[in-house]
Amino acid sequence: MESKMITGRDILLVGLQPWDIAIGSNCKNVATELSKYNNRILYVNRALDRITLLRDRKDVKTQTRLKSLHHQANDLQEIRPNFWTLDPRTVLESVNWIPFKTPFDIINRINNRRMAAQIRQAIHRLGFKNVLLFIDNEFYRGQYLQEMLAPEVTDCIYYSRDNLATHPFFVRQGKRLEPKLIAKSTMVVTNSDYLEDYGRKYNPHTYNILQGCDFERFFPDQPFTLPDEMRGIKGPIIGYMGVMTVARLDLKILEHIATQRPDWSLVLVGPQDKTFQKSRLHALPNVHFIANVPEVKVPQYIQFFDVCINPQLVNGMTIGNYPRKLDEYMVLGKPVVVTRTLAMELFKDHVYQCDTPQDYVENITRALEERKDEKRVQGWIDFSLQHTWEVSLSKMSQHYFRLKKTQQSQPA
């Protein structure tokens, strides 16, 4: 019987997030899920660049990469059987500041060549053959890897899960480079219809495989206990879990909720950018910030939210974004209030959608009442449980199998 999942392959994963990142990561989840099916995995951590060396030299992740670079630690680490991470022994040039196309492309190609040299050494040492390259949104450092790693790399799947090319950091070159990488990839997978439509403009083999989520840690053997940081915070608690950055979140919505309903407690859990750190939210007595927590403890905090929110700022990056936090909220039976975007059409029967800050106040009020409806709560749970990594990557695998079968049947 044909497998529903890619199996028995050597798989190389390159993405924006290193294995030792503190927050959740789609790329890490993809690697972990694929490793369950007799695949050998090489997960490439981000190589150091000049600016990171100057700015973040004391960071733990930077120190880890430096130890590899100076041969004070192995560049290859086997974290479990048939699963390795690679800390490339190279330093890349920081290129994003370059405004002109030609010098950017020249230096970016040099960076790709340095990365490819380190990866090729690693896959040769591991004996990888017929390698499947999976690139997670990395359209700079992954731009030329498919051709530079040939013939060992035979196919490339590009994963578009965020419209990062519109982010202020990437917009100068990203809108030009991401379509190029999409076009030359064997196949493209996305987590929303919006990104599928975008990808299909450049590659007809683009498929929405929806979002995956790891729910195992949401159902522990013992009941969750109230985190120490939440003791003494009076309810109802309106909670947000995740990175707080003005590139994605609307500060005005949070300020409106907090000032209009001082009887509610707004609990925001996660790292903050500089704008959030300086915002007037810190002066409001009913707003409580909790620093970033380990991924394994995320459910423990969500469990004690009464209503969960995702107050996105609507822009090119968020309009088609599928926030996996929504499934994490709902699987614990929590009502979810969100900003209306194109991607939220999938959730229309299960979340409360808002167009204005006042809509948030009104919908949170409704949600506080309707969370008592057991049938509605069960609907939230059942809907979220449809979005596992096994389901998502099975979709990817089936599209890949069909594509390869079609290619093999075509005359040479």
Q: Do domains 10-212+388-409 and 216-384 have the same CATH topology?
A: yes
- 2 pLDDT above the threshold of 60: no
Question: Do residues 18 and 46 make contact, with C-beta atoms less than 8 angstroms apart?
Answer: yes
Each residue's pLDDT tens digit, 162-188: 888 888 888 889 999 999 999 999 999
- Counts for the chain of helices (H) and strands (E), in that order: 14, 16
- 306 pLDDT above the threshold of 60: yes
Each residue's pLDDT tens digit, 355-411: 999 999 999 999 999 999 999 999 999 999 999 999 999 999 999 999 999 988 877
Residues of the chain with pLDDT > 90, as a percent, come to 87
Each residue's pLDDT tens digit, 114-159: 999 999 999 999 999 999 999 999 999 999 999 999 999 999 999 9
What confidence category does residue 3 fall into, taking pLDDT thresholds of 50, 70 and 90? low
What confidence category does residue 1 fall into, taking pLDDT thresholds of 50, 70 and 90? very low
pTM above 0.85, yes or no: yes
Each residue's pLDDT tens digit, 253-286: 999 999 999 999 999 999 999 999 999 999 999 9
CB neighbours of residue 113 within 10 Å? 13
Domain extent listing, the chain? 10-212+388-409, 216-384
b/e per residue, 180-211, with b = 16+ CB within 10 A?
ebbeebbbbbbbbbbbbebbbebbebbbbbbb
The CATH number of the structural domain formed by 10-212+388-409 is 3.40.50.2000
Question: What's the fold here for domain 216-384?
Answer: Rossmann fold (3.40.50)
